[in-house]
Amino acid sequence: MEKDKKKDDYFKEKSSILSSITGLITFSTILPLNFHTRIEDMAKFTWFWPFISGGVGIIGLIISYFTIEILKLSPLLSAILIYSFYLLFNGFHHLDGLMDFGDAVMAHGSPERKIAIMRDPMIGTGAVALLIIVGFISIGAIDSILTLKLFGAILIGEISGKIGLITCALSSKPGVDGTGKFFIENMSVFKYLIAILITAIISYLILSYAGVFGILGGMLGGGIVAYISKKQFKIATGDVLGASNEIGRMISFVLMIIAINLI
């Protein structure tokens, strides 16, 4: 009886892990899995997010190869398509956070007022400006990557976006409400280091040292957003985490190009 109970507990634990990860995929992409679970359960696997993005990045890699090598599109047009695919496949969640973050940072006043503006559904100049800056730089960097036909960098960049997110989550103080607090509270140094180590090894195998620079770019982007958030809002929200994903991916692409040209 005790052996059977242990066996049942084992399968329940495995089922719980699978349901939490599947719920996180449903939450962060447009995949029609229609599998929902509690945000608290999903947040336990915040550290696993870069690996989910790895699956998205593989699709981006395939698209980039197909558009460049088969359809013979220009690197710029292909870069626009890939960047648009990443935004769309992620359900525009992180893009929304980036724009809200831009509005809040541009606003004057207390941290409480800035947070209220960040949660306001209105779109201001700061949102549009930050979208243009991050979007143009990202597309320009992808264009350079595709000109050199470094398709692996397309995958690494998407992974690094989530490296930026978990870096920001680890470095930030959560608010008292909102979904972001659960992801921030569930990040630990140990889980973070596991994610960094595995993704750095994978990136090195794909693109040598330039791939590692991509991961460092994600970390740098997440760290910058976390620093700005502390200065401006004292806490981080889900919008801040979304911004760290977009900025982390952008800096990852740029650092990989710099590393490729210098190494």
The domain locations on the chain are 1-44, 47-262
- Across 220-229, average pLDDT: 98
The DSSP annotation for 70-126 comes to: IS---HHHHHHHHHHHHHHHTTTHHHHHHHHHHHHHH--S-HHHHHHHHHSS---HH
Contact 159, 57 (CB under 8 A): yes
Cβ contacts of 248 within 8 Å, gap of 6 or more = 160, 161, 162, 163, 164, 165, 167, 168, 217, 218, 219, 220, 221, 222, 225
**In the block, residue with structure tokens 């710099």:** 258
Burial of residue 22 (CB within 10 Å: 0-12, 13-18, 19+) is: middle
Distance CA 147, CA 52 (A): 27
pLDDT at 15: 53
Which of 32-46, 64-78, 120-134, 225-239 shows the lowest per-residue confidence on average (mean pLDDT)? 32-46
Q: Which residue has the higher pLDDT, 10 or 257?
A: 257
Q: Give the CA diameter of the chain.
A: 66
DSSP, collapsed to helix, strand or coil, labels residue 172 as: coil
**Distance in angstroms between the alpha carbons of the first and the last residue of the chain:** 62
Q: How far apart are CA 161 and CA 219, in angstroms?
A: 9
Give the pLDDT band (50/70/90) at residue 11.
very low
- Per the CB < 8 A criterion, the answer to whether 62 and 155 are in contact is no
37: tokens are 């679970």
CB atoms within 10 A of CB 56: 22
**Lowest-confidence region among 9-23, 27-41, 74-88:** 9-23
pLDDT of 32 reads 76
Specify the pLDDT at position 1.
52
Residues 92-127: pLDDT tens digits?
989 999 999 999 999 999 999 999 999 988 899 999
Instruction: Quote the tokens at residue 154.
Output: 């397309």
Question: Would you place residue 25 in the very low, low, confident or very high pLDDT band (cuts 50, 70, 90)?
Answer: confident
Structure tokens at 209: 């040292």
Helices (H), 108-177: 111-119, 125-147, 152-171
